[in-house]
């Protein structure tokens, strides 16, 4: 019965350990603001730089699995080439060893020392202080960035608490005869590697498996020797491949290759290391083969193993890449993966809201680009109607509709994550923006249909009317460009340039309506042609209005415009706008003058 409760207490300590790692990893990720993912996405082709950043990012997020899953997602989105992924994955294996190096501190023994500062470093005292500081920060902080710091401290405290609980629970098991027999059996390298892999798959963390070994060693059971520990440690590297492999299912070819790259690197590294260690053992012999492995020894071996394997494979990175390309082959007749902006919306990124929002923004910008291309194409139809061009316009319109649906679903799923205030607001803004760009696309199609009606009825506008429409369309093309640039950059200078141009577009439309009425009265323009002319004016004016909406929504995202009310802002701007607003109206009026 004592053994049963000992096992239960070890499991409880492990639960604290895993929970602490989760809180620490989440806090670090939120504090980084998605910086780590952006750094990985922009990684250069230099293998040494890739290894370095892979190690640093993994040390920060405390999980090689998390880093590798991110890499798989970036490869799937086409943001990271396979060659760049090689170094990052190698570095991830080194970065994950930092957890074991931190956990070795849990063995510090200061009980016999009366010095206050030395006693402060005792894990149980240190973790208690970290927990207290973390809770106080979370409860009193007003800004999310400060709360994330509290989460990091609390995560470390819970991590150490779980480690201490496991050590305490394991200590009584040292008197159980079967305990040492289990680890004696694990001296069989195959059994040890399989055990390490299985435990890592179950805990979803190689650091957790190594942490369990350190807890058993730190409890002073004497059960952990080098012969039994090192196969388990190497098995953790194979087990940690499970999550990236699963996450690559139904992904692009490069994503599957990235996951296989991680698997081959760890598998081959384990095999090479096992062979080398046993060759030396059965020829020269390791003097510490049957000696007890301490928590520090375990941490050091974990680090040495991954560093040495990385150094071995760096010169053969190209061969490793060829191996995974041979495993995940190009199908006969296949072209390169045709990536669209829809592919950027990888659901793996939902766990990193900053990255997910950046990808969704790219999708929104692409909607604008499609609408912009359609508007440019529609203008040509009034000079020369082309059915092939109409077909292209309809295809792009379908892409806009698909993106609206895809991005909308993606953002709704993102709201299920833990979002801070800025992320929540940005999600709402992007939902507005996809609707605005979709409407711009719809009004552009309306203009195309007007051109088609003119063509079918063999009607056309006068040269003067075409000249006027071209000036108006130049202004609308510019405001669409500004709307897209606003969504892409959030540049306040660009954002505040949209509304003055929208005002000028409205004035041009009103002037053209008056001119059209005079032409109709004088009989220069037929009733049917006049109706089409007015339809175009209505549609371009609405396109301009939606561009204005996009700018206002994005202005509301800046810190200086919290709780901005769209209609109140526009009324205030139109009635008593700043001097710069008036200056820009005058500038745009001269640029797009009908005279």
- Measured CA to CA, the distance from residue 507 to residue 92 in angstroms comes to 59
Q: Return the closest-CA partner of residue 133 out of 15, 125, 14, 61.
A: 125
The pLDDT of 79-103, averaged and rounded, is: 76
DSSP label at residue 338: -
Tell me how many degrees the CA angle 353-359-365 measures, rounded to the nearest 5: 135
Q: Which fold has domain 342-591?
A: Methane Monooxygenase Hydroxylase; Chain G, domain 1 (1.20.58)
Task: Output the furthest CA–CA distance in the chain (Å, rounded).
Answer: 110
Tokens 């004497």, located at residue: 222
- Measured CA to CA, the distance from residue 389 to residue 387 in angstroms comes to 5
377, 380, 386, 389: CA torsion to nearest 10: -10
Q: Return the closest-CA partner of residue 213 out of 178, 163, 165, 176.
A: 163
Q: How many helices (H) and strands (E) does the chain have?
A: 25, 0
| Residue/partner pairs of 449-452 with CB below 8 Å, 24 or more apart | 450/532, 450/535, 450/536, 450/539, 451/378, 451/381, 451/382, 451/385, 452/381, 452/385, 452/390
Q: What is the mean pLDDT of the chain?
A: 77
Highest-scoring range by mean pLDDT, 196-210, 325-339, 389-403: 389-403
Which residues is 292 bridged to in the sheet?
A: 225
Backbone angles phi, psi at 225, to 5 degrees: -115, 170
DSSP label at residue 588: H
Model confidence over 198-253: pLDDT tens digits?
877 776 667 777 777 776 765 555 567 788 788 888 888 888 888 778 767 766 67
Helix (H, G, I), strand (E, B) or coil at 459: coil
Model confidence over 484-523: pLDDT tens digits?
999 988 888 888 899 999 999 999 999 888 877 777 666 6
- What is the distance of C-alpha 252 from the center of its chain? 17
Backbone angles phi, psi at 292, to 5 degrees: -65, 135
pLDDT exceeds 90 at position 374? yes
Helix (H, G, I), strand (E, B) or coil at 71: helix
Percent of the chain as helix, strand, coil, to the nearest 5: 80, 0, 20
| Token representation of residue 383 | 């000079």
Give pLDDT, residue 541: 92
Model confidence over 456-485: pLDDT tens digits?
887 777 788 888 889 999 999 999 999 999
pLDDT exceeds 90 at position 57? no
- Measured CA to CA, the distance from residue 541 to residue 506 in angstroms comes to 6
> Of 339 and 490, which is predicted with more confidence?
490
| Token representation of residue 440 | 């711009």
Give pLDDT, residue 491: 86
The pLDDT of 286-313, averaged and rounded, is: 83
pLDDT exceeds 70 at position 48? yes
Pair 305, 273: CB distance under 8 Å: yes
| Token representation of residue 310 | 């990385």
Pair 218, 173: CB distance under 8 Å: no
Model confidence over 94-136: pLDDT tens digits?
887 877 776 666 554 444 444 555 455 555 666 777 788 888 8
Cut 0.95: pTM above it: no
Model confidence over 544-586: pLDDT tens digits?
999 999 998 888 876 545 555 666 666 666 666 678 888 888 9
- Positive or negative, the CA dihedral 372, 377, 383, 385 is negative
CATH 1.20.58.220 range(s) for the chain read: 342-591
- Return the H-helix or E-strand segment holding 439: helix 421-456
């Amino acid at each position: 019965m004592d053994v049963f409760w000992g096992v239960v207490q070890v499991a409880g300590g492990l639960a604290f350990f895993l929970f602490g790692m989760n809180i620490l990893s989440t806090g670090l990720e939120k504090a980084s603001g998605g910086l780590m993912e952006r750094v990985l996405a922009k990684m250069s082709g230099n293998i040494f730089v890739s290894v370095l950043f892979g190690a640093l990012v993994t040390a920060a997020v405390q999980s090689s699995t998390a880093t590798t899953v991110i890499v798989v997602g970036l490869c799937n989105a086409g943001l990271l080439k396979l060659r760049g992924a090689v170094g990052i994955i190698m570095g991830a294996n080194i970065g994950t060893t930092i957890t074991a190096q931190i956990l070795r501190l849990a063995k510090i023994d200061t009980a016999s020392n009366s010095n206050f500062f030395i006693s402060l470093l005792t894990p149980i005292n240190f973790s208690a202080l970290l927990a207290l500081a973390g809770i106080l920060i979370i409860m009193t902080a007003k800004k999310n960035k400060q709360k994330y710091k509290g989460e990091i401290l609390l995560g470390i405290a819970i991590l150490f608490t779980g480690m201490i609980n496991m050590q305490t629970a394991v200590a009584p098991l040292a008197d159980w005869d079967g305990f040492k027999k289990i680890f004696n059996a694990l001296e069989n390298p195959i059994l040890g590697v399989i055990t390490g892999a299985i435990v890592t798959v179950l805990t979803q963390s190689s650091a957790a498996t190594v942490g369990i070994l350190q807890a058993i060693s730190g409890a002073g059971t004497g059960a952990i020797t080098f012969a039994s520990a090192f196969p388990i440690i190497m098995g953790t590297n194979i087990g940690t491949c499970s999550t990236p492999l699963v996450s690559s299912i139904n992904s692009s070819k490069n994503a599957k290759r990235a996951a296989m790259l991680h698997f081959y690197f760890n598998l081959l590294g384990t095999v090479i290391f096992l062979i080398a260690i046993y060759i030396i053992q059965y020829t020269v012999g390791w003097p510490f083969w049957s000696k007890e492995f301490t928590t520090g020894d375990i941490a050091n071996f974990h680090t040495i193993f991954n560093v040495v394997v990385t150094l071995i494979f760096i010169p053969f990175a190209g061969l490793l890449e060829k191996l995974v390309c041979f495993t995940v082959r190009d199908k006969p007749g296949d072209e390169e993966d045709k990536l669209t902006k829809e592919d950027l919306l990888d659901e793996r990124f939902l766990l990193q809201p900053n990255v997910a929002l950046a990808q969704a923004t790219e999708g929104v910008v692409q909607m604008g680009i499609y609408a912009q291309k359609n508007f440019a194409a529609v203008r040509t139809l009034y000079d020369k109607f082309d059915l092939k061009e109409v077909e292209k316009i309809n295809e792009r319109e379908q892409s806009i509709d698909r993106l609206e649906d895809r991005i909308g679903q993606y953002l709704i799923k993102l709201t299920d994550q833990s979002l801070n205030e800025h992320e929540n607001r940005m999600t709402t803004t992007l939902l507005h923006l996809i609707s605005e760009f979709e409407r711009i696309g719809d009004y552009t199609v309306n203009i195309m249909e007007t051109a088609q009606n003119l063509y079918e009825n063999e009607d056309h506008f006068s040269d003067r009317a075409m000249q006027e429409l071209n000036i108006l369309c130049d202004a609308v093309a510019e405001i669409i460009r500004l709307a897209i640039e606003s969504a892409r950059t959030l540049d306040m200078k660009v954002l505040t340039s949209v509304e003055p141009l929208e005002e000028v577009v409205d004035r041009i439309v009103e002037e053209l309506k008056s001119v059209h009425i005079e032409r109709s009265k004088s009989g220069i323009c037929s009733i049917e042609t006049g109706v089409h002319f007015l339809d175009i004016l209505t549609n371009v004016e609405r396109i301009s209005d939606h561009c204005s909406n996009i700018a206002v929504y994005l202005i509301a995202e800046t810190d200086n415009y919290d709780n901005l009310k769209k209609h109140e802002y526009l009324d205030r701007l139109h009635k008593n706008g700043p001097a710069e607003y008036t200056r820009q109206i005058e500038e745009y009026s001269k640029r797009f003058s009908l005279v």
